Amino acid sequence: MATDILISEVGLRDGLQSIDPVLPTERKKAWIAAQHAAGTREMEVGSFVPAKLIPQLADTAEVVRYATGLPGLCVAALVPNLHGLRDAVASGVHKITLPFSMSETHSIRNLRKTHAQVIEEIGRCVGYLDTLPGERRPKFEVSLSTAFGCTLEGEVPERRVIAYAEQVVELGADEVCLSDTTGYGNPAQLGRLVRGVREACGADRLDGVHLHNTRGQGLANALAAVELGITTLDSSLGGIGGCPWAPGASGNIVTEDLVFLLESMGLSTGIDLEALIEVRERVQAALPDVELYGFVPAAGLPLGFRPACDPSP
């Protein structure tokens, strides 16, 4: 059965960067292998940033090289600049995301760059990627971070988000992603932004969103995104994650809860929910002092639950 919604697992990057205990490389590989076996087909496994900034992700190149050996898995990584992008390409990553904060205050905190400087960096990244042969060129996505609001600046004008989306697409980014970094978004706002970006850039330039559940809006926003035709949703196993440079930015959507929501609606994710919950148990055992979240793992699957791929009447 074809997958209706692609769930991109970001726990290995967005999740791990927000916690203190460093997960050993072999444990990361075991997590990736187990979640791949459960049916996950896209994972953001790390970030190419200086190890002194985020020691948790210092082994990203090794983790990428391992993950790219798993069949059918799209391996993604975050980069802050051209230097990181070059390292990501050298590792063989399939998809690269560069975060471009719509709040300039957050941009300076996160990338140490103004909006104008980030635009220049994106242009340099595209210029480098254009020198690569097709088989070596990864997909290049610009994530429009704090697109729904910022804990440092407050409201972010929607017209600004749409204008910058159009600008980075014109520069040569393959696609953009709307990111609710601080969990400010609501379904109506999501609808306006998705329609505005698609009108400005083309529907094929926006097929993914990165949502947080900081204020309990995560699944409502995910459902709204699906109804708008979004086909890729980011989430984190156990809901761990957040941005260290945005105070209060906690709470990714819980992958287990998202899979349950979609599968119970008859939308196929390709993920075996029972196997995914077993992956969660392994990760919890490896990180015993880290709190994992999620309603479905706590309550269990309801009697008679059948996933979307179950052909039974």
- Sign for the pseudo-dihedral over CA of 34, 38, 39, 40: negative
Crossing angle (nearest 10°) for helices 218-227 and 187-201: 40
- For every residue of 228-263, DSSP letters joined together read TT--EEEEBGGG--B-TTSTT-B-BPBHHHHHHHHH
- Asked about 125 being catalytic, the answer comes back as no
- Give the closest residue to 184 by CA, choosing from 155, 208, 160, 161: 155
The answer to whether the beta carbons of residues 141 and 206 sit under 8 Å apart is: no
Phi and psi angles of residue 139, each rounded to the nearest 5 degrees, phi first: -70, 140
For residue 116, what are its two tokens?
Answer: 């104008």
Helices (H) then strands (E): counts for the chain:
11, 8
The answer to whether the beta carbons of residues 212 and 250 sit under 8 Å apart is: yes
Tell me the HSE value of 136 on the side-chain side, using a 13 A CA sphere. 13
CA 269-270-276 angle, 5° bins: 90
**Secondary structure E strands in the chain:** 6-9, 42-47, 74-78, 95-101, 139-145, 175-179, 208-210, 232-235
* Annotated active-site residue in 74, 125, 177, 243: 243
The strand pairing partners of 9, in sequence order, are 43, 235
Phi and psi angles of residue 306, each rounded to the nearest 5 degrees, phi first: -130, 130
| Residues labelled as active-site residues | 243
